[in-house]
Copies of this chain bind each other. A is one copy, B any other.
């Protein structure tokens, strides 16, 4: 089914070795310096494959490029409204959140995500 190509390995390793949350373009830039022949289309295609096979996690973004991270455990994120970067939030995962819904109105609830907005320490220290 899915093949082990050099490119796929390099992209997965890039995320494994860079803790945090990277955009497709950042990943492309990082890899491009070592492997100048890699194409952006390949990066996007492989990020999709790796996400679908649950080897990495995609953090969908509403006002800019999506982020990707090595950690696939379900958890929540906070986005800095100034630098637009995304970080993990240290907070227990709410497995029971569906119990808080008062009336499901005939919907089948499958999953949820929580995105916090705020200001990261780095931007805070650079003044308002």
Query: CB distance A110 to B117 under 8 Å?
Result: yes
* Distance A78 CA – B100 CA, assembled complex (angstroms): 14
How close is A92's CB to chain B, nearest CB, in angstroms? 7
* Distance A51 CA – B46 CA, assembled complex (angstroms): 37
A6 CB–B CB distance under 8 Å: no
* Distance A1 CA – B81 CA, assembled complex (angstroms): 25
Task: List chain B residues, Cβ under 8 A from A107.
Answer: 78, 80, 87, 118-121, 124
* Distance A78 CA – B113 CA, assembled complex (angstroms): 10
Binds B, one of A15-23, A24-32, A33-41, A58-66: A58-66
Bitwise interface map of A from 100 to 128 toward B, beta carbon under 8 Å scored 1, else 0: 11111111111111111111110010000
| Cβ-neighbour of A63 out of B60, B90, B91, B92 (below 8 A) | B60
Task: List chain B residues, Cβ under 8 A from A63.
Answer: 60
* Distance A118 CA – B111 CA, assembled complex (angstroms): 7
Task: List chain B residues, Cβ under 8 A from A61.
Answer: 62
Report A's interface with B, CB cutoff 8 A: 60-63, 66, 78, 80-81, 87, 89-92, 97, 100-121, 124
